[in-house]
Amino acid sequence: MIKKSFNTFVHKRFNRWLKRRIPASATQRLTNRNIFILPSGFGFAYLVFVFVLFLLGTNYQNNVVILLSYLFASVFISAMLQSFFNLSGLKLHCHQQVSTYAKQQTHFSLTIDTDKPRYSLVFQFPHQGKHLQKKVNTGTAVVNIPYCSEKRGVHIPGRLRVSSEYSLGLFTCWTQLDFGCEVITYPQQKKFQNLHSSICAHQDDEHGINVVEGGDDFGDLRQYRQGESLSQIAWKQLARGQGWLSKTNQQQQGNDVWLTLDNLPSTDLEVKLQMLCYLMLEQYQQGQSWAMDLGSEKVPPNTGKKHLTHCLTMLAHYPSKKMSAQAQNEE
C-alpha cells in the first residue's frame, strides 16, 4: 500500500515536471531539452566490466590491460553520443482525432521529418502495443502507431514514448511527447436475435408514419368537392342521409425507424448502447433511414455515413454534459 502510494506520488510529480519541460504541441522537434538518455541493462554490465578491467590492469601494473579498458571506455562514450544523435533533430507531427469501436485497434499517423537516416526507433503509447521502425530514410516518412480502447468514451492516449537503443544497445535514449491527440471510442456491437423487427415496428407505431393521399388504402371521409370523380363518393353515407362525402385513399410515406434506448431489452446501460450500435449499423448497411432517441436527446431521421458517424459519436459521449446537468437538476 505504501509502495503504491509512493509510486503514484512520484508519477504525478514526474508528469507535472514533464508538462513544464515538454508542453503539448502538434509538432515536436527533438533537442537536448526533451531527450533523456541512460545506460541500458547491458550498458551497466558493460560499464562494470570496464571498471573491473581497469582495476586489474592497475593492480598488476599491466599497461596492455589498462589500454584495453581505456579502449572499451571510449567505445562506451562513442555509443552514448551516437545514441543521442540518432534522435536529436527529428521533427515529429501528430495531431489527430481518430475514432474506433471498443476493443478494436486503431492507428495514429505520425509524420517524421529527418535530414539523415535514423535507426531502430520504437513508438509506444502508455499501456499500448509497440511499433518498431527499423530505419527511417532521409526526408518525410509516416508511421502508424497502434492504439486500442477497452471502453467506449473519449480517451486521451497520453504521451507518446519515442525510444531507441541504437547503437550496440549500451544506452536507452528516449523522450515522451504530448501531441494533444484524442480517441473517440464507439460502443462495441452486440448482436441479438428475434428483436430487431419487433423493436423497429414498435417505434414506427409510436412515432407515426407519414401518409399522403392517392394510395390504395382507405383513409378517411371529407366533404365532397364539385368536379370530383363519382367513384370517390361515399354512397353508403349518402343513403343514410349524412350528406355528400368523398372517400380519401392513403399510402405510407417515409417509413422511418426510430431506435429508442429505453426500449432495448436490457437493464445494463452499456449493453443497451452496444445493442443500439448494432441496430444502427444494420440500418446503415441496408441503406434505410433511421432516427435515434436517447431520452432527452433525439436525432431526426436520416441516412448515410455522416448520419451514422454523428449517432455513434453521441453514443460515445453518452451521457453528455447537457444530459448530466439535467439529471442533477431533477435530483
pTM of the entire structure?
0.75
Compute φ and ψ for 59, nearest 5 degrees: -65, -40
Q: What angle do CA 29, 173, 84 make, to 5 degrees?
A: 65
- Dihedral through CA 209, CA 212, CA 213, CA 215, nearest 10? -60
Task: Give bridge partners of residue 99 from the DSSP assignment.
Answer: 184
pLDDT tens for 25-70 read: 999 999 999 999 999 999 999 999 999 999 999 998 899 999 999 9
Quick: pLDDT tens for 70-126.
999 999 999 999 999 999 999 999 978 899 999 999 999 999 999 999 999 999 999
Instruction: Tell me the per-residue pLDDT of 217-231, one tens digit each, with 9 for 90 and over.
Output: 444 666 766 656 666
